[in-house]
Amino acid sequence: MLFYFTGTGNSLYAAKAIEPDPISIPQVIHQAPLEFTADAIGIVAPVYGHEAPPMVKEFLRKARFHTGYFYMVLTYGNRHGGAAELAQKLCQDCGIQSAYINVLQMADNWLPAFDMDEQKKLDKGVDSSLARIVGDITARKRWIAPVTEADRAAHREFLANMERLPADAWQHLIRVTDRCVGCGICERVCPSASIQVVEGKAAHIPGHCQTCLACAHACPQKAIGLSVPEKNPGARYRNEHISLAELIQANHQMNK
């Protein structure tokens, strides 16, 4: 049994390599009871600021997992900042005993810092690293990815930078421009119903935004940008192995 969270398809691609039919966290988090039993239960998710997305944290706090082998695979783009150690602590705080936590470097979709055209060209050895992870999980290896002091320092630097910003800064990151034609794709790829078409135009609703940037990356008109400068405003990203239809199936919130 494997649960996943994805914004642009990277974590879904990794999840599908581990389990043929992984379960979308946005599609189950509002169900009750959140109680699951299986020989092995896993989570695949990206890291934002080196930690699991808010919805993944919420899921781990709410759910009860009955398994002898709980694992996490965390996808990241540039630096993981000790993500495995942070995830292990999160699991401990949630009363979950983690057997295996690993990190997987993939394309970085954070538009303020990275050019998506450049990211698409980089060879980060995704498939070979993913094959090793799948082998580990199949063999029920018990292991937590090592974390260096440099990783911890990177996370401390990130937290220090965040302290200089308003507490809700990321909730006001999305900006809809006049290029919007009201197609609704942004609404259907949003995992938290934080963007909706109102009177023929997309509107971002702060409060529960995951800052996954799925809406910005998926917009066919490039009508969704950010309130901060982007590395390349004309470039967007979706994992080449994942279709738009799969992202919609994973994230569309029918009952807003």
Determine whether domain 2-160 maps to CATH 3.40.50. yes
Helix (H) or strand (E) holding 112: none
pLDDT higher than threshold 80 for residue 255 = no
CB 157 within 8 A of CB 195: no
pLDDT higher than threshold 90 for residue 237 = yes
The pLDDT mean for the chain works out to: 96
Instruction: Tell me the two tokens of residue 152.
Output: 């911890």
Top-tier CATH class for 169-251: alpha beta
Return the pLDDT at 254.
77
| Contacts with 86 (C-beta within 8 Å, 6 or more apart), sequence order | 50, 51, 52, 155
Q: Where are the domains of the chain?
A: 2-160, 169-251
pLDDT tens readout for residues 1-16 = 999 999 999 999 999 9
Return the pLDDT at 177.
96
pLDDT > 90: what percent of the chain?
A: 98
pLDDT tens readout for residues 98-155 = 999 999 999 999 999 999 999 999 999 999 999 999 999 999 999 999 999 999 999 9
